[in-house]
């Protein structure tokens, strides 16, 4: 059987331009999008139980727009006024610009990196005297605290939102030829929603080393691992795999 249907475990692209749309046009394969995980905010009450004082810190490290949203949400719920002297260290230029939603951009000290956390750590190295607050999900990359510890930063982790499994019960009778995952949480959601899941001929594609590890630890077969030397992106890897696979069928 040829590959005809692919499910990408992420939200559908918000713009009309996406490599997945190009892939669907090129291969004739139907590509659906469905987030396997969702974010839930931590309440101000639960945040207080962490005994973290936001105003005791002189800088904030943002690894995503979600972190930005929840930092300012909790500050508002706790009726805190963030001082103009607060410094912001953002994972990317896009995240830094997103701060304009909450602050007067030109009046603040804002630093950004390339989208990679090790590069952001290099930027932070020039400000070692700051006391950093790092808003995170309850499930986050271990690389973040590992690098902060290894470089001797004075920082506090603040769990401001949670990553939980989406309800996928409506997919119970829907079959896909390829399932595409981008995080270990996506694999956990698959197994939580479908504890009797049998892979059989379904192909699994994963992005990143931690996701690949989660697939294997779940006892599933990993058919497409990204990035790889021939395909740095998921869309490219799917294109190569589907073209080659369907050619043989």
CA 17 to mean position of chain CA atoms: 21
Report the sign of the C-alpha dihedral through residues 220, 221, 224, 225, in that order: positive
Give the pLDDT confidence score for residue 197 in this predicted structure. 93
- Residue 116 vs residues 104, 112, 137, 144, 229: alpha-carbon distances, Å: 25, 10, 17, 11, 19
- Residue 222 vs residues 80, 207, 215, 216: alpha-carbon distances, Å: 47, 11, 7, 7
One domain for residues 16 and 48: no
Facing residues of 181 across strands? 206
One domain for residues 191 and 232: yes
One domain for residues 176 and 158: no
**107 falls in which pLDDT band (50, 70, 90)?**
low
Of 143, 162, 181, which residue constitutes the final position of a domain?
162
- Residue 110 vs residues 85, 92, 115, 222: alpha-carbon distances, Å: 11, 11, 15, 41
The pLDDT of residue 108 is above 80 = no
Total domain count, the chain = 2
The pLDDT of residue 16 is above 80 = no
DSSP state of 231: B
67 phi/psi in degrees, rounded to 5: -65, -40
190-214 tens-digit pLDDT:
999 999 999 999 999 999 999 999 9
One domain for residues 130 and 58: yes
14 vs 223: CA distance, rounded Å: 28
One domain for residues 221 and 241: yes
CB-CB contact of 49 with 74 (8 Å): no
Give the pLDDT confidence score for residue 65 in this predicted structure. 94
Over residues 116-127, the mean pLDDT reads 96
One domain for residues 178 and 143: no
Alpha-helical regions (H) of the chain? 19-27, 44-48, 65-77, 93-98, 117-124, 143-150, 184-193, 209-217, 234-248
Write out the residue range of the structural domain in which residue 48 sits.
Answer: 40-162
**149 falls in which pLDDT band (50, 70, 90)?**
very high
One domain for residues 136 and 234: no
One domain for residues 28 and 73: no
Of 162, 185, 217, which residue constitutes the final position of a domain?
162
Q: Which residue has the tokens 């999008």?
A: 33
**15 falls in which pLDDT band (50, 70, 90)?**
confident
Give the pLDDT confidence score for residue 111 in this predicted structure. 95
Sheet hosting strand 87-90, strand order edge to edge: 37-41, 154-165, 131-137, 59-62, 87-90, 109-112
One domain for residues 66 and 125: yes
- Measured at the alpha carbon of residue 135, what is the angle toward residues 132 and 136, in degrees to the nearest 5? 130
Contacts of 28 (CB under 8 A, 6+ apart): none
Total-model pTM: 0.80
One domain for residues 46 and 134: yes
One domain for residues 142 and 78: yes
Facing residues of 90 across strands? 62, 112
Of 147, 162, 177, which residue constitutes the final position of a domain?
162
- Measured at the alpha carbon of residue 67, what is the angle toward residues 63 and 73, in degrees to the nearest 5? 160
One domain for residues 126 and 187: no
158 vs 56: CA distance, rounded Å: 12
Nearest to 191 by CA among 9, 52, 40, 43: 9
Residue 84, domain CATH: 3.40.50.10090
């Amino acid at each position: 059987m040829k590959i005809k249907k692919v499910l990408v475990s992420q939200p559908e692209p918000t713009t009309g331009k996406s490599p997945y749309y190009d892939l669907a046009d090129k291969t004739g394969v139907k590509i659906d999008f469905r987030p396997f995980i969702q974010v839930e905010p931590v309440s101000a009450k639960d945040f207080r139980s962490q005994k973290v004082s936001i105003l005791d810190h002189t800088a904030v490290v943002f690894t995503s727009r979600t972190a930005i949203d929840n930092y300012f949400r909790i500050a508002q719920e706790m009726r805190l006024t963030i001082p103009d002297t607060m410094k912001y260290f953002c994972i990317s230029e896009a995240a830094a610009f997103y701060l304009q939603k909450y602050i007067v951009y030109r009046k603040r000290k804002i630093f950004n990196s390339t989208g990679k956390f090790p590069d952001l750590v290099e930027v932070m190295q020039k400000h070692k005297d700051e006391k950093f607050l790092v808003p995170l999900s309850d499930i986050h990359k271990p690389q973040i605290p590992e690098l902060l510890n290894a470089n001797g930063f004075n920082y506090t982790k603040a769990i401001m939102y949670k990553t939980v499994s989406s309800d996928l019960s409506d997919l119970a009778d829907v079959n896909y030829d390829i399932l595409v995952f981008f995080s270990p949480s996506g694999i956990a959601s698959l197994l939580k929603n479908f504890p009797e899941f049998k892979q059989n001929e379904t192909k699994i594609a994963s992005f990143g080393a931690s996701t690949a590890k989660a697939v294997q630890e779940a006892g599933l077969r990993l058919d497409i691992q990204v990035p790889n030397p021939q395909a740095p992106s998921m869309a490219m890897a799917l294109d190569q795999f589907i073209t080659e696979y369907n050619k043989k069928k």
